[in-house]
């Protein structure tokens, strides 16, 4: 890099720093900055465009264009060359702007006399803030050094915008992180919550983007990178689990930490006048921008690794670790890009809600959030860059909407919604100890789903008659190695104790697909949901299943034991699993251990194949539980992790209800107890329809028992069945409209 370019760049940044240090309002500073950039770069024009909302850029300052166009000229993202820079997050450099694809002439600016155009995005960690543009009358392309210099300037502008240096009148100059923001995500656990933001990984704030002494900054960067390399090496040396995915990530970390290109780019940024922190963040911002446009999932993951490594390096340089001195609010709503199950359990029930920028419906975090009954919204884009610790948040886990720093009208409407729900909860509390008996005299058994000891107090508070599903995999997911048999036996015994004589149905280990154990060799499968999972893993790796069955038998210690096997797809699988349990009972008896008073052995029907299984299956099973979430996705061939298709198919679809009714009739013919387990069982309208077609037991999250019981106690199943049958006869695709109309006419 030529020495004179380095010096010119440093002079420009020094002038910017001095200008920013002078007193003045945000508009004055922007005006002075455009003048300095135009003078220093020898251009006729410098303009700064900032976002006034998520889709609109506004000209906020200019040197060279008509002054009256400031705050009047606006562009949509993607519109004109400036809009293209904002959309793609990449520079545009052209010597003949009017001939460039997408050029838009803005007559109020007087820019028709300028041929050359260089636009660079102003962005920080993937957050788009605006565009800085230089233009000249004579046709020429700007050199690589000039493009690079303007990128460095844009980096400083981003940092100063973040620090509030350009706050003024109007939307475009409004202070960041103070405006109301609504973010749409995906529901992973229903519920609503009001609280204050608590960032799992607090933002690193760079307060000194411009540095005087490049040698000092280069030394700081070298020392920080050396510390980072040592940390990564230590992480690799301590990774004794042999988990292929974990080792791959750590190897990627090591590769980036030792990347000469990564370090060289940061050194060049420092030579241009940036501080070490700003140089790291400039590279991190570039990585995040690329991450958003790269379609290849492997490359996206590698950019994610680089982003994470940059964050570690920033924390070393700034000393801003996770402990920032901020006090956790009394009503925390956790904000994170993603989070592991163990970390989430550390927070426990202290959280009012959780918002993740990434995540999936079936992720470990979602499983734990459901177990803890904490509202969770995932895929909430930009939430980690928008939220600050202590910001008020309204989390609508029914709609998948997050209101950050809401306006008073939104807050009032949300509080009205919560008040209505609280009023309804009082009604539900009044019938907590009452049975779920319909107007036509049918008694429905309502049980709860659980997976942690912390769930068990809900047995009393919710009015559940037992645990229809205890997910045993949570104890395996949150550990770094296989739990000991004695520990599992003690845990299961505490669960049975807490149930106080109520029935608890333990589902054996349901792993695979989206539930991968860190200490188990991952399987490369094109479609994990249809792959090696649940009972298939248990039958192929019988050692772990035998250990778990032994723990369950010992936990019962003479009391009744109920065990069900997941994802049974054919009769022989159930026979084999059942045989394993019977063999363990025989073995425990030979060892002189106390056997359960009674043993029920059941199956979860989650694949359509079992609706057509031989009669012997229904006769052999002591009970059957429909796993509604998986059965529905396999019935409709619609991945429940895929937002494009999972909401496309209704549980009350005529075909699905008819299919379920077939299973109900087969169970009635053989006298096999049947229940429906899943999210749909906890939705009052769906629960009403399921009981109307013959289900007499439903298992759901504890919070749903009250609303479902309330609906059933004031409904006549014969009337509901008549409405369903009429809708079917009419050729309707779903019975939902007819049922909802019937409920409205009843005043529901």
| Residue 50 dihedral angles phi and psi, to the nearest 5° | -125, 155
> Where do we find the tokens 């979860």?
604
Give the residue ranges of DSSP H helices in 241-340: 244-257, 260-271, 276-293, 297-318
- Supply angle C-alpha 188, 193, 196, rounded to 5: 110
In angstroms, the Cα distances linking 536 to 482, 504, 540 are 18, 23, 6
- Phi/psi-derived region of residue 164, left when phi > 0, alpha when psi is between -120 and 50, beta in every other case: left
Helix/strand number for the chain, H first, E second = 27, 23
* Residue 80 and residue 117 in contact, taking contact as beta carbons nearer than 8 Å: no
331: its two tokens: 């009503």
The total of other beta-carbon atoms located within 10 Å of residue 229's CB is 14
> Where do we find the tokens 């007499």?
696
The total of other beta-carbon atoms located within 10 Å of residue 108's CB is 12
Catalytic residue, chosen from 667, 677, 689, 710, is: 677
Q: What CA–CA distance (Å, rounded) separates 657 from 651?
A: 7
In angstroms, the Cα distances linking 28 to 18, 32, 185 are 14, 6, 38
44: its two tokens: 């006729």
Give the H/E segment covering residue 631. Answer: helix 628-636
Q: Quick check: is 710 catalytic?
A: no
DSSP, residue by residue, 95-155: S-GGGSTT----GGGTGGG--EEEEEEEEETTEEEEEEEEEESS--PPPHHHHHHHHHHHH
In angstroms, the Cα distances linking 6 to 148, 532, 663 are 11, 58, 76
477: its two tokens: 């997911």
* Residue 193 and residue 185 in contact, taking contact as beta carbons nearer than 8 Å: no
Q: What CA–CA distance (Å, rounded) separates 718 from 196?
A: 47
* Residue 477 and residue 515 in contact, taking contact as beta carbons nearer than 8 Å: yes
* Residue 682 and residue 700 in contact, taking contact as beta carbons nearer than 8 Å: yes
List of E strands, 166-271: 181-184, 186-189, 192-199
Q: What CA–CA distance (Å, rounded) separates 505 from 498?
A: 14
Q: Quick check: is 60 catalytic?
A: no
For the chain, give the longest Cα–Cα distance: 97
Catalytic residue, chosen from 196, 304, 364, 580, is: 364
* Residue 660 and residue 626 in contact, taking contact as beta carbons nearer than 8 Å: yes
Q: What CA–CA distance (Å, rounded) separates 260 from 254?
A: 12
* Active site amino acids: 364, 677
């Amino acid at each position: 890099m030529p020495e004179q370019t380095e010096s010119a760049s440093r002079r420009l940044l020094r002038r910017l720093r001095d200008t920013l240090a002078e007193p003045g309002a945000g508009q004055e500073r922007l005006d002075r900055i455009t003048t300095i950039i135009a003078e220093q770069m020898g251009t006729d024009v410098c303009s700064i465009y900032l976002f006034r909302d998520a889709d609109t850029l506004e000209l906020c300052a200019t040197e060279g264009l008509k002054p009256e166009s400031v705050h009047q000229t606006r562009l949509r993202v993607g519109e004109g060359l400036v809009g293209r820079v904002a959309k793609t997050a990449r520079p545009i450099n052209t010597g003949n702007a009017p001939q460039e694809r997408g050029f838009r002439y803005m007559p109020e600016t007087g820019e028709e006399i300028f041929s050359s155009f260089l636009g660079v995005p102003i962005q920080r960690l993937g957050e788009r803030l605006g565009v800085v543009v230089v233009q000249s009358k004579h046709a020429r392309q700007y050199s690589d050094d000039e493009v690079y210099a303007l990128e460095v300037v844009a980096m400083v502008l981003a940092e100063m915008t973040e620090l509030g240096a350009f706050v003024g009148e109007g939307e475009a100059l409004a202070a960041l992180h103070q405006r109301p923001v609504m973010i749409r995500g995906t529901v992973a656990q229903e519920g609503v919550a009001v609280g204050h933001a608590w960032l799992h990984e607090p933002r690193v704030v760079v307060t000194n983007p411009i540095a005087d002494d490049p040698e000092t900054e280069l030394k700081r960067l070298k020392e920080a990178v050396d510390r980072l390399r040592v940390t990564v090496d230590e992480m690799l040396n301590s990774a004794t689990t042999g988990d292929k995915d974990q080792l791959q990530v750590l190897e990627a970390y090591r590769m980036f930490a030792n990347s000469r290109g990564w370090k060289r780019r940061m050194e060049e940024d420092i030579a241009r006048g940036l501080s070490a922190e700003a140089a790291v963040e400039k590279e991190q911002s570039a990585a995040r921008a690329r991450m958003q446009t790269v379609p290849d999932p492997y490359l996206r993951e590698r950019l994610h690794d680089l982003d994470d490594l940059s964050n570690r390096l920033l924390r070393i340089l700034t000393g801003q670790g996770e402990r920032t001195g901020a006090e956790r609010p009394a009503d925390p709503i956790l904000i994170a890009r993603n989070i592991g199950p163990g970390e989430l359990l550390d927070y426990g029930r202290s959280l009012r809600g959780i918002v993740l920028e990434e995540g999936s419906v079936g992720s470990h975090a979602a499983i734990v959030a459901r177990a803890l009954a904490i509202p969770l919204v995932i895929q909430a884009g930009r939430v980690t860059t928008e939220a600050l610790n202590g910001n008020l948040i309204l989390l609508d886990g029914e709609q998948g909407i997050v209101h950050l720093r809401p306006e008073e009208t939104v807050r009032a409407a949300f509080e009205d919604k919560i008040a209505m729900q609280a009023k309804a909860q009082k009604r539900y509390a009044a019938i907590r100890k009452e049975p779920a008996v319909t107007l036509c005299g049918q008694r429905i058994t309502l049980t709860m789903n659980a997976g942690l000891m912390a769930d068990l107090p809900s047995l009393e508070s919710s009015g559940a008659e037992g645990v229809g599903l205890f997910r045993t995999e949570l104890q395996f997911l949150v550990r770094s190695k296989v739990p000991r048999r004695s520990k599992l036996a003690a845990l299961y015994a505490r669960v049975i104790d807490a149930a106080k004589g109520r029935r608890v149905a333990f589902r054996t280990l349901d792993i695979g697909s989206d539930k991968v154990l860190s200490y188990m060799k991952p399987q490369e499968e094109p479609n994990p949901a249809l792959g090696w999972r649940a009972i298939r893993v248990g039958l192929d790796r019988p050692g772990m299943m035998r250990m778990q069955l032994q723990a369950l038998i010992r936990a019962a210690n003479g009391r009744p034991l109920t065990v069900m096997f997941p994802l049974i797809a054919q009769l022989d699988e159930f026979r084999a699993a059942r045989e394993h349990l019977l063999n363990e009972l025989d073995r425990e008896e030979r060892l002189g251990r106390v056997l359960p008073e009674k043993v029920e052995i059941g199956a979860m029907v989650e694949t359509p194949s079992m609706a057509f299984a031989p009669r012997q299956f229904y006769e052999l099973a002591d009970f059957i539980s429909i796993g509604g979430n998986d059965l529905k996705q396999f019935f409709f061939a619609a991945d429940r992790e895929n937002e494009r298709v999972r909401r496309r198919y209704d549980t009350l679809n005529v075909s699905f209800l008819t299919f379920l009714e077939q299973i109900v009739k087969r169970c009635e013919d053989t006298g096999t107890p049947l229940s429906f387990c899943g999210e749909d069982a906890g939705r009052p309208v769906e629960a009403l329809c399921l009981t109307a077609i013959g289900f007499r037991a439903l298992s759901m999250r504890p919070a749903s028992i009250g609303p479902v019981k309330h609906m059933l106690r004031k409904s006549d199943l014969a009337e509901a069945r008549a409405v369903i049958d009429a809708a079917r006869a009419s050729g309707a695709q779903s019975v939902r409209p007819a049922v909802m109309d019937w409920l409205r006419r009843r005043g529901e």
